Structure 1
Amino acid sequence: MNQSKQLTDGALLTAVFMILMLIATFVPVITLIATFILPVPFILFASRYDWKPSMVMLIAAAILSSLLTSIFSLPIPILMGIGGMMIGSAIHRNLTAYETWARGTIGFVVGIVLVFVFSQYIFQMNLVNEINQMIQQSITMSQDVMEQFGLNELTEEQMGMVTEQLGVLTDLLPVWIAIVALLLAFVSQWVSYKVINRTENKQLHFPPFRTLRLPVSLIWIYFFALIMSFFNLDQSGMVFTAVHNVLMLTGILMTLQGFSFIFYYAHAKHMSKALPITSIILTIFFPFIFLYLVRLLGIIDIGFSLRDRISNQKK
């Protein structure tokens, strides 16, 4: 009976995945929404039966996607399947929401890297070179537009700086991969929680954002990368790229910790939610000022257990 139900669920969820994939491929208007929902069938199946049976579902989805669309769509089920199985397996093992999110992020990072490798060696397509070409095309188009408005001199003066700054985007590719993986994991996990709660009468949810606490070791990684950035490193070298990627990624994580502390402080002091919401808005519109302040607050919170001190004061 269980084997029969497993096969039925697998076939049904594979069909759902294929429908979502066809929508994402052929209906551009809702491609972005469908992309975030694509891992959900894998999450649902793995949350019931763990990752081993989910591998069979992944293989079936990969074969069907190649037959119904094209071989070029093969990376999609690989990416969504690996990330979805990691989240679903964590739910199956009753891990916490943030542990599940972390595992899902790792799964999506692995999936994205496999897509790069797959594109390079199977399709003979270097995605990094494609990104560089897109950046160069955007620079050329911007230069043409500015020349049409009579800003040739300004363009010539600033073009070298603009080109260098945009070139950094390629160097920070690992960070962008991590950010995309974080977003994919979070949205797909949140949607899956809603579906599982509705269909299986469970109470899965993310704990309040104010409870987010990152490990203290993150500070040491951040400061090590910060110290390394002061050295005169070769900008074309691997060490320079690695240091700046680590610095940016840990900086983003500590900024999240800073926002988490602001939410915690507002809750602990019974203040209006307008304070944390305003802090987010100000950081978005004035990042050169508030981003570093929020990040510093996150560092202090992690390093000196700031919220524990506030909690002790309440007692």
Structure 2
Amino acid sequence: MNKSRQLRDGALLTAIYIVLLLVSIFIPVLSVITMLLLAVPFIIFAAKYDWKPSLIMLGVATILSILFASIIVLPIPTVAGIGGVMIGTAIHRELSPYETWARGTIGFAVGLLLTFVFLLSVLNINVIEEFSQQADEVLELSKDMANQLGMEAEAEFTVMEQQLNLYKQLVPVFVVLASLLLALLNQWVSYKILNRLEKQRLRFPKFRNLRFPTAILWIYLLAMILIFIQGEQDGTLVVALQNVMMLTGLFMALQGLSFIFFVSHHKNISIAIPIVLVVVTLIFAPLLLPLVRILGIIDLGFGLRDRMVK
């Protein structure tokens, strides 16, 4: 009975995945939503039956994807399947929401890296080189337009070129950020579905209780120090350190935002105040985000929350 139910659920969820895939391909208006949620069927199945049956479902879904579309869509079930199985397996084993999120992030990152390998080996497309070429073309086009209009903006274009070079080096960070967002969105939607269908009580803890390990702070500070003492600015080590510093700096900023919500709750301040502060921080990110990051560093390094509670 359990086996037949497993087959039935697998067939139903695979069919749902195929429908989402076809909608993503043939209905561009809805593709923005459906493409982001392709991992949900894999999460639901893995949360109920663990990873072994889920890999079989992933194999069937991959074959059907190729049959209904073509070999070009192979990266789609790869990314959605690996990320979904990682999240669903963590839910099945009753891991904490943030640990589940971390595993899902790893799964999506692995899927995206395999996509890069597929594009390079099968379609001969180097994603990093294509991004670099497109950025250079946009910069040259902007320069040509400025020259035709008689504008003198050499200093601005120099700064823009430096920023583009930095973005090229931070491609690994962008992959991790995309994986974080994909894992968070799919996990949240899956929690809602599982709570409704399976009568579970899955939810993320309050954002004000988010606290990262102190080791992240030391990694951030170590990367910052090593960047300062490195003389070669374009070396491989410096690029790697910039990626590490960018990623851990993002975690410090999240820690700072979480601390703002914690203070608001601790002082019985309206929830609207920290929400407005977050919106303002995002709008004026170049100016305010470094301040929020410093707040997160102080909170994590000196235990501000524990001191406030005491």
In which range does the TM-score fall when normalised by the shorter chain?
Answer: over 0.9
The one-letter amino acid of 1:195's match is I
Which of residues 264, 278, 281 is equivalent to 1:280?
Answer: 278
Looking at structure 1, the residues matched to 181 and 134 of structure 2 have their Cα atoms a distance apart, in angstroms, of 23
Offset, 1:159:
2.8
Unaligned stretches of 5+ in structure 2? none
Which of residues 264, 267, 287 is equivalent to 1:266?
Answer: 264
CA contact (8 A) 2:230 2:238 kept: no
1:125 aligns with 125
1:17 aligns with 17
1:74 aligns with 74
CA contact (8 A) 1:23 1:31 kept: yes
Report the CA distance shift for 1:145/1:33 in structure 2 as closer, same or farther (over 3 A): farther
1:200 aligns with 198
Looking at structure 2, the residues matched to 306 and 24 of structure 1 have their Cα atoms a distance apart, in angstroms, of 46
Looking at structure 2, the residues matched to 6 and 19 of structure 1 have their Cα atoms a distance apart, in angstroms, of 20
The one-letter amino acid of 2:191's match is Y
Looking at structure 1, the residues matched to 140 and 289 of structure 2 have their Cα atoms a distance apart, in angstroms, of 31
1:218 aligns with 216
CA contact (8 A) 1:258 1:296 kept: yes
TM-score by length of 2: 0.96
Offset, 1:137:
2.6
The one-letter amino acid of 1:302's match is L
The one-letter amino acid of 1:98's match is Y
Looking at structure 1, the residues matched to 101 and 158 of structure 2 have their Cα atoms a distance apart, in angstroms, of 40
1:242 aligns with 240
- Percent of aligned pairs sharing the same letter: 50
The alignment yields a C-alpha RMSD, in angstroms, of 1.4
Offset, 1:134:
1.7
Number of residues of Structure 1 aligned to a counterpart in Structure 2 = 310
DSSP-derived class of the 1:230 partner: helix
CA contact (8 A) 1:301 1:307 kept: yes
Confirm or deny that 1:294 pairs with 2:292. yes
CA contact (8 A) 2:65 2:73 kept: yes
DSSP-derived class of the 1:206 partner: coil
CA contact (8 A) 2:38 2:80 kept: yes
Offset, 1:30:
2.1
Looking at structure 1, the residues matched to 137 and 196 of structure 2 have their Cα atoms a distance apart, in angstroms, of 47
Confirm or deny that 1:38 pairs with 2:38. yes
Report the CA distance shift for 1:237/1:304 in structure 2 as closer, same or farther (over 3 A): same
In the TM superposition, structure 1's runs of 4+ consecutive aligned residues that sit over 6 Å from their partners are none
Offset, 1:203:
1.1
Per-residue CA distance 1:4-29 (angstroms, 9 max, x = gap) = 11111111111111111111112222
CA contact (8 A) 1:23 1:34 kept: yes
Report the CA distance shift for 1:292/1:46 in structure 2 as closer, same or farther (over 3 A): same
Looking at structure 2, the residues matched to 133 and 27 of structure 1 have their Cα atoms a distance apart, in angstroms, of 30
Looking at structure 1, the residues matched to 141 and 8 of structure 2 have their Cα atoms a distance apart, in angstroms, of 52
Looking at structure 1, the residues matched to 27 and 234 of structure 2 have their Cα atoms a distance apart, in angstroms, of 41
Offset, 1:138:
2.0
Looking at structure 1, the residues matched to 216 and 84 of structure 2 have their Cα atoms a distance apart, in angstroms, of 26
Looking at structure 1, the residues matched to 259 and 159 of structure 2 have their Cα atoms a distance apart, in angstroms, of 37
Q: Which moved more, 1:227-236 or 1:246-255?
A: 227-236
Offset, 1:148:
5.0
Q: Which moved more, 1:186-195 or 1:120-129?
A: 120-129
Offset, 1:146:
3.3
Looking at structure 1, the residues matched to 21 and 141 of structure 2 have their Cα atoms a distance apart, in angstroms, of 33
Offset, 1:106:
0.8
Q: Which moved more, 1:282-291 or 1:204-213?
A: 282-291
Offset, 1:145:
3.9
The one-letter amino acid of 1:126's match is N
TM-score by length of 1: 0.94
Per-residue CA distance 1:96-154 (angstroms, 9 max, x = gap) = 11111111011111111111112112222111111112212322333344345442x22
